[in-house]
Amino acid sequence: MGSGFRRNNSFSLKGYGKSALPADLKSRQYPSLASLPPLREVVARHGIAARRSLGQNFILDLNLTRRIARAAGGLDRGSVIEIGPGPGGLTRALLLEGAAHVVAIERDPRCLAALGELAAAFPGRLEVIAGDALELDPAALVPPPCQIVANLPYNIATALLLRWLDRIGEYDRLTLMFQREVAERLVALPRSPAYGRLSVIVQWLTLPKILFDVPPGAFVPSPKVTSSVVSLVPRPAPLAAAEKASLERVTAAAFGQRRKMLRSSLKTLGLPVEPLLAAASVAPTARAEELSVAQFCALARAVETTA
């Protein structure tokens, strides 16, 4: 675990444009900024070659990482949690854009020394935690308000998001990088090919929005797919009443055989299907992709009363 919550409010960007810092401000507020080596030099010196097994694709362009940081917004309010910072490209941007307190969770020991150098350049504002994000609860690491901003490892991005949804109300927002295909699933509407289980669960609890795309060439190494930065703002309350476990159970059954009518696909629930559909006011001949999030919630409530 980290050393605890520390906050330093001595820095402020008020009165200055966020896209560039005046030279006098750099010298006064960031005495070590000019001495920070280029990120490519840091990567080479610490031997941080991206590893496929860790799902690593680094962003070394500070202009792009600062765009991501600005898109998150509210960085000076509470804590920003970053998952998988790698050599610290996005971490630098978060700090330069005014984040008061950044908690960076990194499992790759090769990256810890590079992040330690960055922490020394921004004393009191960056806390590095060596650990596996799949085994940690980010919301338990800092008091509210907090948000997550991250270029997620592709191989665990969806798994992480589903875990964070359990405590989504404790975050101001999530600003996350996904493969474009996954991003489209998050925002997909009924009757579209991308609409599925992930769409329902995410839209039940959040308001997802694709902010902008990032081409493969922006990463080192370049992936074979386009990526997207997505904003997920927690709803004040879930879109409709339902238990998450029941909703996950219903969507798994329905989308597990999405081409079949619900009167057939929902048989895997092991419950009388016709009364279930009637209780939710859903037509037996409907297919999973036709139902709204609210209708899936009605089915989940029917399961809860029938089981």
Tell me the pLDDT tens digit for each residue of 11-25. 222 222 333 333 433
**4 has pLDDT over 80:** no
Contact 215, 169 (CB under 8 A): no
pLDDT of residue 35: 67
What backbone torsions phi and psi does residue 271 show, to the nearest 5 degrees? -125, 160
Domains annotated on the chain, with CATH: 23-234 (3.40.50.150), 244-306 (1.10.8.100)
- Given a cut of 90, is residue 196 above it in pLDDT? yes
pLDDT band, very low/low/confident/very high, at 87 (cuts 50, 70, 90): very high
Query: How far is the C-alpha of 298 from the C-alpha of 241, rounded, in Å?
Result: 8
pTM of the entire predicted model: 0.86
Across residues 176-200, what is the average pLDDT?
A: 98
Q: C-alpha distances in angstroms, 78 versus 9, 73, 106, 170?
A: 10, 12, 20, 12
